Amino acid sequence: MCQTPFLNAFPLDADGVCTACRGGLRGFDAAYCLAAYEGGFRQLIHLFKYGRMQSLRQPLSRMLAEALPRDARFDAVTSVPLHWRRRYQRGFNQSELLARDIARRWGAPYVRMLRRGRSTASQAALTNAQRRTNVAGAFSMRRSTMGSNGAAGHHVLLVDDVMTTGATARACAAVLRRAGARSVTLLTLARVDRRLA
């Protein structure tokens, strides 16, 4: 379940599941986040991501680990990839840095499973439909260090910095599912409350 509020007349059913999750539109099995993407926490993420303050990596990943249930188990941890141009400009992939720390804390291997084959426009100013179109076909599997089967049969934890509509995570999860992942769980620092967006 995405645990994300939606702007509609009946956002959640009696079990707290939204329409998108009931219809299987999310693509991932569960999603966890540390906080809402607003106020001081949003500024902190911006300092880490755009201000290149990599010193925030350790405290953010330590807090992020608290968002996962204690009994969660994963065969591998991976991250949403940046296109090589954006990675070069920024100097690092913030999601990968967080994912590597989470993998270490959880005792699971970090594996770069996904690649971004084409550069995409920033998702920030796009509508929900535009976000889905923007990332459609942008991701694919890369050669995995887990052997020739890649994600096959594995419970995968996918890490990103922020979830807005879930379009990027859904596109990545679809690729992992096609590669045979048994489950895909999303973990993000923050999520946007779409009721306020």
Q: Under a CB-based contact definition with an 8 Å cutoff, are residues 109 and 146 in contact?
A: yes
Q: Quick check: is 48 in a domain? A: yes
Alpha-carbon gap, residue 131 to 123, rounded angstroms? 6
Please give the mean pLDDT across all residues of the chain: 80
Please work out, in degrees rounded to the nearest 5, the angle formed at the alpha carbon of residue 124 by the alpha carbons of 99 and 63.
30
Q: Quick check: is 58 in a domain? A: yes
Render pLDDT for 138-152 as a digit per residue (tens, 0 to 9): 788 887 555 545 688
Tell the residue number behind the tokens 């976000």, with chain if given. Answer: 131
Q: Under a CB-based contact definition with an 8 Å cutoff, are residues 80 and 112 in contact?
A: no
Determine the average pLDDT of the residues in 33-57.
Answer: 92
Domain count, the chain: 1
Q: Quick check: is 8 in a domain? A: no
Determine the average pLDDT of the residues in 106-133.
Answer: 72
Q: Quick check: is 20 in a domain? A: no
Determine the average pLDDT of the residues in 85-104.
Answer: 92
Q: Quick check: is 79 in a domain? A: yes
Q: Quick check: is 18 in a domain? A: no
- We report the CATH number of the domain holding residue 73 as 3.40.50
Residue 125 amino acid letter: A
Between 28 and 190, whose confidence is greater?
190
Q: Under a CB-based contact definition with an 8 Å cutoff, are residues 32 and 189 in contact?
A: no
Determine the average pLDDT of the residues in 159-174.
Answer: 88
Q: How many CB atoms lie within 10 A of CB 120?
A: 21
The pLDDT value given to residue 197 = 46
Q: Quick check: is 98 in a domain? A: yes
| Residues spanned by the domain of 173 | 31-191
Question: Cα–Cα distances in Å, from 71 out to 66, 68, 159, 190?
Answer: 12, 8, 18, 21
Q: Quick check: is 6 in a domain? A: no
